[in-house]
Structure 1
């Protein structure tokens, strides 16, 4: 079973450049309440290492690339985010990690809710225990 859910992101453009549009409940399968991005990541320093109890997100590298690793407690999958029109969904209760950031990486993340520290699961053993009871 693949944990990778690619979104249908259209890249429009011509000789002048490209336009990529991300819209609520259209190209992004939820209403967007929060947007953030990672930039200036250090070579060899991975990020993430958590899951969310309820939050759903979509991630896209608008510049550069990174390796996204996904884990539902049973299955593991990974994908290179390496194009501004390749976006993935990070569902709730998916442990996710980002690795091998390129020097020019800008990882844009769209979330269906506001930041809530209580929604985070930051301990992998706790995550595995919770997925057994889901």
Structure 2
């Protein structure tokens, strides 16, 4: 892989928040992300103590939003690790390719929306952390 992406390339992006007494509205339009949206999926009903993620992508980028509730995203670039808490539905986490991610500490009723830069391709996933570290150094 030999990607130069680091923790510094991760971004929190604020989405527009249109406030109304009937409820708030946020919009994600194609200009918000640095890639074309090709897949949208969401995680929900995650049991207490369960973790999701546990992988990196070779080429795909992802944008994560806590639509409801909260969860933590542990991010690792092969040298540094940081944890980002997501709990505001108009703020999302942009994860570039080449960053290991683990999602944990889901609150009851949490919903994680993911907007991906590509369709599902198993060959784009690195699911073994040791292999990820070796690929960052090759």
TM-score (norm 1): 0.94
Q: In structure 2, what is the equivalent of residue 57 of structure 1?
A: 62
**Structure 1 contact 68–98 (Cα < 8 Å) conserved:** yes
Q: Deviations over 1:40-99 (max 9, x none)?
A: 000011111000000001000100000011001011111110010110111101000001
How far apart, CA to CA, are the structure 1 residues paired with 2:71 and 2:9? 17
One of 21, 31, 43 as aligned partner of 2:27: 21
Query: What is the aligned-residue RMSD (CA, Å)?
Result: 1.1
TM-score (norm 2): 0.92
How far apart, CA to CA, are the structure 1 residues paired with 2:46 and 2:25? 25
- Whether 1:46 and 2:51 are equivalent positions in the alignment is yes
Q: In structure 2, what is the equivalent of residue 117 of structure 1?
A: 122
Runs of 4+ in 1 over 3 A off after TM superposition: 1-4
Q: Report how many residues are paired.
A: 132
Q: In structure 1, what is the equivalent of residue 38 of structure 2?
A: 33
How far apart, CA to CA, are the structure 2 residues paired with 1:85 and 1:8? 6
How far apart, CA to CA, are the structure 1 residues paired with 2:9 and 2:104? 17
- Whether 1:129 and 2:123 are equivalent positions in the alignment is no
**Structure 2 contact 9–96 (Cα < 8 Å) conserved:** no
**Structure 1 contact 64–102 (Cα < 8 Å) conserved:** yes
Gaps of 5+ in 2: 1-6
- 1:3 Cα deviation (Å)? 5.2
